[in-house]
Amino acid sequence: MSSAVHGFTDDALGTLDAVGVAAALRAGEVSRAEVLAAAIARTRRVDPSLDAVQLSCFDRATSAPETAGVFAGVPAFVKDNTDIAGLPSCHGSAAFTPHAATVTSGPGAQFLYSGVIVLGKSTLPEFGLTASTEFTHRPPTRNPWNPEYSAGASSGGSAALVAAGAVPIAHANDGGGSIRIPAAANGLVGLKTTRNRLLDQPGARKLPVHLVAEGVLTRSVRDTAHYLAAVERFGANPTLAPVGLVEGPSARRLRIGLITADVLGRPVHPDNAAILDSAATVLGGFGHEIIETRLDVDPRFIEDFKLYWAVMAAAMTLSFRLGHREHFDARKLDPFTTGLIGLAKRNPFGSAAAAWRLRGGTATYDKHFAEFDVLLTPVLSHPAPRIGELAPGQPFDALFAKLVDYVGFTPLNNVGGGPGISVPHGLLPAGLPGSVQLAARRGDERTLLDLAYQLEGASPFPRIVDRPAAAGAA
């Protein structure tokens, strides 16, 4: 078993989460300069082993003006598909060389509203289209718990940096599981919010099916809760009641539907099933009623999602091609991206029908909550794969089949628009953290945070600092 890679040490960050760092800064226990120096040193220590940083802007960070907000002065990374003025966005692609953004996007501004200091951009696979942060043009992003394994995707770089202790919080977004998948692989909390709860990437709400939600990756439930309570006020959506600050579990007793099979009705890997059973036992101990049930979705759901995903890939590629013109080189696209584009071109009518059916996904999602308050599911159908198993250079059909085998639960929340949270729970073989997903009615992030606090309190999250660290990485 490979040693873990982490930067935790006795410096200004210690083992503090983002709430803890912000509190220490406010109390004058540490200075902003000390905190930033610690985060920069940690990043430099771990990234040669993880390849999670797309670009760094350390000098810019240390000279940045003072910030305000719930996480004022806390160091962080932004996922490299989100524009921050003055920094380029590569979107994980070698097909073009981006210019520095002239303006900060809505999601970028929302993240900065929390008060964080950006140290740089974190990696994602090309255009965020797959479930492992691997490339054909650069080294893969590795899992700090065991670098032989995938960090997940598409927010894999953010997840690896938070799990390794480089920073306590990082930006992420989720169009099919891209917050929750890397959260699960790296032992983090990852909340995908209700559709339209937070600001979106430009043009997202004009798409036939709006899939993507913005958020963060953290090491504690309270960090996620404090972040959401703060930034939901930035461009607040008047159609959704505010979640507010959830500071701990409630005493409510809930009906929880236990899902043990994916959207195709297939059981998950025994190791993941054991983690799920353990979490169900913990929640049952709080007095919640746990009832085994199944997902009730159109049997065409996966094929429809695949076709729509292909259309999204083709649309994004065309957008970048038009934006960069003669500086865009399609020959440098990853084979998985070109495979998706080819699929979309071969199926114009099928793609339209798939999008039409997926637009009914909200009703499909909602009906699960006629009987239950919450669904408890795995995040992933099997443990995180080894580096290379989901590499983008392999035959397209073979890779997509592997992705379906791996990610059988998360896309339903994106299509349905409901919130879902990945919560660490227990340990898997190979030294990897376990996890479960909680899903709730649209608009009910509060209940998810309540239950996440219960799991965290009853079964403290596994800590990478308890794993042997690789030489020079701690």
Residues 159-213 pLDDT 10s: 999 999 999 999 999 999 999 999 999 999 999 999 999 999 877 887 899 999 9
Give me the catalytic one of 89, 114, 150, 154: 154
Q: What is the DSSP string of 202-240?
A: TTGGGSSS---EEEEEESSHHHHHHHHHHHTTTT--TTS
- Please name which of 251, 255, 249, 259 lies closest in space to residue 288, comparing C-alpha atoms: 255
The CATH code of the domain that includes 449 is: 3.90.1300.10
Helices then strands, counting H and E runs in the chain, come out as: 15, 11
Q: 13 in a domain, yes or no?
A: no
Q: 7 in a domain, yes or no?
A: no
Mean pLDDT of 441-453: 99
User: Catalytic residue at 402?
Assistant: no
Q: 12 in a domain, yes or no?
A: no
pLDDT per residue as tens digits for the range 88-118: 999 999 999 999 999 999 999 999 999 999 9
Q: 2 in a domain, yes or no?
A: no
122/81 Cα distance (integer angstroms): 9
Structure letter (DSSP) for residue 267: B
Q: 472 in a domain, yes or no?
A: no
pLDDT per residue as tens digits for the range 113-168: 999 999 999 999 999 999 999 999 999 999 999 999 999 999 999 999 999 999 99
Q: 348 in a domain, yes or no?
A: yes
Give me the catalytic one of 89, 105, 150, 178: 178
Structural domain including 27 reads 18-466
Contact 143, 185 (CB under 8 A): yes
Contact 143, 184 (CB under 8 A): no
Kindly tell me if the per-residue pLDDT of 461 is higher than 60.
Answer: yes
Please count the structural domains in the chain: 1
User: Catalytic residue at 154?
Assistant: yes
Q: 130 in a domain, yes or no?
A: yes
pLDDT per residue as tens digits for the range 21-59: 999 999 999 999 999 999 999 999 999 999 999 999 999
User: Catalytic residue at 3?
Assistant: no
Retrieve residue 268's tokens. Answer: 């998950």
Give me the catalytic one of 49, 79, 105, 155: 79
User: Cβ neighbours of residue 44 under 8 Å, at least 6 residues apart?
Assistant: none
C-alpha to C-alpha distances, 467 to 21, 268, 345, 387, 474, nearest whole angstrom? 23, 26, 47, 20, 11
The angle formed by the CA atoms of residues 462, 466 and 469, to the nearest 5 degrees, is 125
User: Cβ neighbours of residue 26 under 8 Å, at least 6 residues apart?
Assistant: 72
Q: 63 in a domain, yes or no?
A: yes
